[in-house]
Amino acid sequence: MAFTSLSFLILVAITVVVYYVFPKKLQWAVLLAASLAFYCIGGGKTVLYVFYTATTVYAAGLLLGYFNGKKDQVPKEQRKAVMEQYKKYRQLVVLFTCLANFVLLYILKYWNFTAELFQPLVDRFFHGAQIPLSSLLLPLGVSFFMFQSVGYVIDVYRGKYPPERNYLKLLLYVCFFPQMVQGPISRFHELAPQLYAQRKLDYTNLKYGIQLAMWGYFKKIVIADRAAVVVNTVMDNPWSYSGSMIAFGVLFYCIQLYGDFSGGIDITRGVARLFGIDLAENFQRPLFSVSLADFWRRWHITLGAWMRDYLFYPLALSKPFGKLGKITRKKIGGKLGKIIPTSLATFIIYFVIGIWHGANCRYIAFGFWNGSIITMSLLLEGKYSAIKKKLHINDKAAWFRAFQIMRTCFIVFLGRYITRAPRFLTAIWMIKETFLHPVLPNLWDGTILTLGLGIMDYVVILLSVMVMLAAEWYQEKHGVIREALEKQGFLVQWLAILIPLLVLLCFGILRSDTISSEFIYKQF
């Protein structure tokens, strides 16, 4: 069930009505019923994977709660010893839960990729042997709900909060329907209390939810779906186009990806707000990033936070990495010796982020691309500062910030060649063509009109992107637009809903040649 479908809007409308009509004690049950209905309609039998994950993390939470509770049965001075006594059991519970979910995730997403990668080796040593391939269907948003659920178990292990003892309530946390398609990856202590809260109908929540969802639909339907036409035309057969047209296609992929993903998150947060639920923010104007590290702090924030808290810190602060740090500081010395352990952890993080996006060598290369740039930035930070000082460059100068933003956008732009190309080697060829054989006249000789869009479509995209950038610039400088709208009258506030709706109707939904595409992150 796509967010852009009529059936989804009907489901949301019915759920909102029933949610506020039902007794407040059962409001969470309404959300659970809607979530299961959404997943059954959109994912069919794959809903069983949701129950599987919910069951494993529920059982793990109860076991961890049992072991954690042992400390409350002894005097204060003995609690540390008791927790140490049960530490191995607690660690085994977490390990088993991680394996139970991530091994399944590997089979679903990565088994066939691995099998195809190693089949030539098997052919060489075991003639005629065939690695079996998986035919299991990939569930909607499988990485999102598994990462979110495993994070819950780790937090219970760390004693951040007690486990949820109501299985159905935990199931709701795992499969809350607005965030199932593409996140955000929520934390239990932030989301669960909101899911189980009792609420009255609130006009402000409805108004803000509709405004945010409309903004998301605008970015998805008017911008991203149009840009997708150019992207698919060029990237499905890049060998038929010059370097300038390939770059044009990659630029439109950047527009499509941002409009698609951030628009989807806005729809998610807007729908959740209709029930009074404030989901975690996943984007903070990444187009205004001054470095690649800053970009990743602003882009897909909840994934980055998950990687930081549950993978980077445990790795960087582990005993093996501590020993490695002592060795590199002693043997290599200098800044390089200091940053090697951190850089290695960073590389691992971006490797995981890369393969999280998909089972393909190009995603692994994308991870290494980002890890390499960020590591080099750390290594050259001192020299970079020295050059700025020598040239008397003011870090806070507007022109220098503009330069940093443009530099970051260019680095991100190059990275998009890797993620959108059919294969990694094709991405390298595309980059080479862009810079060695651009054929610049193709940009104004009418070639772009052969890519599936007319002049009016390009005008709509240009104006829409300008509106989006203007809105983000305002937020970057002045804060949340909603707060400014709240100071305006009733008419202005509802115009903020009606104008995007009119644009959607005229340039999206009611077009005679309606353009539509699935969300890019649908099966991540």
Which of 357, 392, 437, 478 is catalytic? The answer is: 357
Task: Report pLDDT for 338.
Answer: 80
Q: Are 17 and 34 in contact (CB under 8 A)?
A: no
CB-CB neighbours of 160 under 10 Å? 12
Active site residue 357: yes
User: Among the ranges 49-58, 137-146, 353-362, 391-400, which has the highest mean pLDDT value?
Assistant: 49-58
Q: Counting Cβ atoms within 10 Å, is residue 86 exposed (0-12), middle (13-18) or buried (19+)?
A: middle
pTM for this predicted structure: 0.90
Q: Span 500-515, mean pLDDT?
A: 63
pLDDT in tens, 154-193: 999 998 999 999 999 999 999 999 998 888 999 999 999 9
CB-CB neighbours of 187 under 10 Å? 19
Task: Report pLDDT for 360.
Answer: 82
CA atoms lying within 13 Å on the CB side of residue 27: 21
Task: Report pLDDT for 59.
Answer: 97
- Helix, strand counts (H, E) of the chain: 24, 0
Burial annotation 272-302 (CB, 10 A radius, 16+ → b, else e):
bbbbbbebbebbeebbbbbbbbbbbebbbbb
pLDDT at 395 over 60: yes
Q: How many residues does the structure list for the chain?
A: 524
In this prediction, residue 378 has a pLDDT band, given cuts at 50, 70 and 90, of confident
Q: Are 153 and 64 in contact (CB under 8 A)?
A: yes
pLDDT at 509 over 70: no
Q: Are 95 and 60 in contact (CB under 8 A)?
A: no
- Rounded to whole angstroms, how far apart are CA atoms 26 and 197? 10
pLDDT at 512 over 70: no
Task: Report pLDDT for 102.
Answer: 94
Domain ranges of the chain: 6-200, 202-279+421-524
Q: Are 148 and 57 in contact (CB under 8 A)?
A: no
- Rounded to whole angstroms, how far apart are CA atoms 294 and 390? 25
Task: Report pLDDT for 427.
Answer: 93
Considering only residues 277 and 72, tell me which one the structure prediction assigns the higher pLDDT.
277
- Rounded to whole angstroms, how far apart are CA atoms 80 and 169? 31
**Which tokens sit at 186?**
């929520």
CA dist list (Å): 77 to 9, 63, 71, 80, 81: 57, 24, 10, 7, 8
pLDDT over 70 for what percent of the chain?
Answer: 94
Task: Report pLDDT for 428.
Answer: 94
pLDDT in tens, 232-252: 999 999 999 999 999 999 999
